[in-house]
Amino acid sequence: VFEKAGVNVSVVFGLLSEEAARQMRSRGKSLKAKDGKLPFCAMGVSSVIHPKNPHVPTMHFNYRYFEIEEADGTKQWWFGGGTDLTPTYLNEEDAVHFHKTLKEACDKHDLKLYPKYKKWCDDYFYIKHRGERRGIGGIFFDDVDSPSKEEVFQFVKSCAKAVVPCYIPIVKRHCHDSFTPEEKLWQQLRRGRYVEFNLVYDRGTKFGLLTPGSRIESILMSLPLTARWEYMHTPPESSKEAEILEVLRNPKDWVH
């Protein structure tokens, strides 16, 4: 069913690289280094699943905790993460199920969270040079450090527990669907976009590559086994391929 799938559990300690610290400061973090050094620890679980069948979407989730010790010994901490879906072809029923399940997980904690993190997801997984999103979104958040560590942790756990129910029913529904060589080709082209986002824009990939001694194979686990790029490829108007592109260019509200 899955052509390439992986789960990474990461626990990383060390000193923040200058580039990583600069990236965090650009997001509004005031980090006071001691002799230019910032000890940090980061931990998280992430998964990327690339199915064989083009009618089963690619799925990614990541939930993480970050802590930095400043020069005076005070610690800054925050949680981040999200779950998002990247279909090759649009199935509205699947999209609604995926988003509703994530909304229910968020709503247990605060009704404002899902709309806020859904928009954040649409904005984050944006391939600027293509003018389209990587997929049909889900939820995404970063730098969450209130109301309290325990409350944010409970919220993150709710999100993580929603991963299986939001995705596996979709897999079971479509993993035996028949598909044509043309549909498989379109899947390869869409995977090319996935690669472009991950290598050009994804903050997690960049952070991993900047961390001294990091395991490169694990960082690049998110990339599909195969992908394709075709010069100036444009799908025919009103085709199934054009339909998914429309949603990637103009994100939809799937739950109302």
CA distances from 7 to 59, 207, 222 (A): 12, 18, 9
Tokens found for residue 208 = 């991993």
In three-state form (DSSP H/G/I as H, E/B as E, the rest C), the secondary structure along 128-160 is: CCCCEECCCEEEEEEEECCCCHHHHHHHHHHHH
Region of 28 (left: φ > 0; alpha: ψ -120 to 50; beta: rest) is left
Catalytic residue flag (residue 174): no
Q: Which residues contact 33 (CB under 8 A, 6 or more apart)?
A: 21, 70, 71
- Out of 50, 55, 60, 99, the active site residue is 60
Helix (H, G, I), strand (E, B) or coil at 78: strand
C-alpha 29/C-alpha 21 separation (Å) is: 9
User: 149-161 and 163-174 are packed helices; what angle lies between their axes, rounded to 10 degrees?
Assistant: 10
Q: Catalytic amino acids?
A: 60
